[in-house]
Structure 1
């Protein structure tokens, strides 16, 4: 009798924003991975990926955080994050952080090699072409900067969204232009950030779509805040939620913060 192939052991890197503001994204990610044949674990000892410290020039703290992350996630076959930003930090910048540390460089490289953004992992590694979800609505998709430029995530979410029963995908003008969030950028340069997000929201509204989707919660929260201040009825959702057919409160709705 032939033994069944071992299910890949995947650790979900939840991300700080998902943990604190939108846990439903984490639950959607677990469902997508389990439905695709993975054994999913969520290590309780995980922390921030260290990107805020890294981007602010605090290399000492970024290195200390990265060491902790490496220790926690080393035992797994894959590490998957529902965020191109955090995924890019681990995959591209951890090897950079430890470039001059012989004791840690191989460990950082090994973790980087098995770390993926969620939708990219589903489409590129597991070969998922459809999730079997149904989601009634018109959706426009925003390409987050880190996911697109660091990890090459562009066609994958569109292919999976296009396979969702009941969903109509409408492309906005300049979907690959920044939303103005940029992590600490929106705090350091609020006026510039606001100008950028105003342009982005105008492009979203011009599609006539009722739902705005993306793969990074930071971008989604930034755009949801602007839409809310403008009194727009456009809903904002993480792509993972749409891919499992979730129809709960959208990002930024009052019931979500209660």
Structure 2
């Protein structure tokens, strides 16, 4: 398998707006390692063009999302500067191919975090504050027919991020017990809790640091880390308004036009 060729196919899907066939159909021999190499090739293309890595996302970290996507392990992707959108401000739905939305508790780091060997205590010390967030997941793979290789190669199905504007210190909240209600157009679509994310969202941050650390990646101060969704993902389209309310963390709203 030629990593550069597959990366070019995925980059082409961004430009044409047309998803590609699952990678594993043409490359059944592809491994998770191959998939991360494809992801890194795209990140190099984006940063060369002027984008800046602003953080990472952990995907497929809840039982609900693993069941929905048919996979059995988490993955990670990169958050680039162009992926961030302001809450309550119009987000053009047409910039995405097959968007879905997920409620998450976003970590904002105040200290560097580098694995291996990161513990929950290390991770907690590195977090400056948390924010309510909505992640827009998207797939450049046709009909979301993804294996773990497909989603990793596709930058963990990243699309966009909407952060709330009320920072909360980690010491002021028990992440496991934070409840979430997700409303689409004023209708309750789902409920969830922080404990759905690997037992605690903090565990996802530990997993990420220890997974990327051996690759020479340090999670930097100011970076945003999305630990995973508290509910299943829901399709969104132009005209939709989505609000996630997370108890003492407050709420965050995304508006699609």
Task: Classify the TM-score, shorter chain.
Answer: under 0.3
Q: Which structure has the higher relative contact order (CA within 8 Å, separation 6+)?
A: 2
- TM-score (norm: length of structure 2): 0.27
Give the alignment's TM-score, normalised by structure 1. Answer: 0.27
